[in-house]
Amino acid sequence: MPCRVSRVAVCSLLICSLVCLITENARAQAPASSKQKTSNAEEAAVFERILNRVHFENDGTEVSETEAVVRIQSQAGVEEFGQLVFGYSSATENLEVEYVRVRKPDGQIVVTPESTAQDFAPDVLKEAPMYSDYRQRHISVAALQPGDTLEYRTVTRVLTPLAAGNFW
């Protein structure tokens, strides 16, 4: 008498075999990856926290908030984060830099006033003038040194949606 195996049984057997292979492969790779420890002691700067929140409205407007805390570990970190650059579209968005401050190791806080910020049209506009409303806000961070912690918060509001009633 011939043996008849249903399609469901064959599919179940194949799925079970696939799961076993994947599990075995994961077990074989796990010890190698767990032995590797990452150290950020050699990094110029380390993000201790970065938070991005975006709130979309049905009409296509939105509010994007960014908060960051960056530990500066070397002079290279000072050079990298000594001037912050935030981009935005001046035709449709409003950029507000709520604060830029440096927390010293002794607890002292040095605030960079927003009045020192400068808006520029980036150099790329020379080659792509169709984006002429794109701007960059440059902020030179006051008193930033290795060992300090940089903190900043920005809020970007889309006041005029590119496509009313839609968001992306």
Main-chain phi, psi angles of 19, to 5 degrees = -60, -40
Indicate whether 114 pLDDT > 80: yes
Could you tell me how far CA 36 lies from the centroid of its own chain? 25
**C-alpha span between 75 and 145 (Å, rounded):** 7
All domains of the chain in start order, with CATH: 45-158 (2.60.40.3140)
Beta carbons of 97 and 88 less than 8 angstroms apart: no
Query: 95 or 16: which carries more pLDDT confidence?
Result: 95
For residues 99-105, average pLDDT: 97
Query: 9 or 52: which carries more pLDDT confidence?
Result: 52
Tokens 């049905």: give the residue.
Answer: 58
Instruction: Give 16-29 pLDDT, tens digit per residue.
Output: 555 555 556 555 55
- The mean-pLDDT minimum among 16-30, 44-58, 154-168 falls in 16-30
Indicate whether 37 pLDDT > 60: no
Which band of pLDDT confidence, cut at 50, 70 and 90, is reported for residue 109? very high
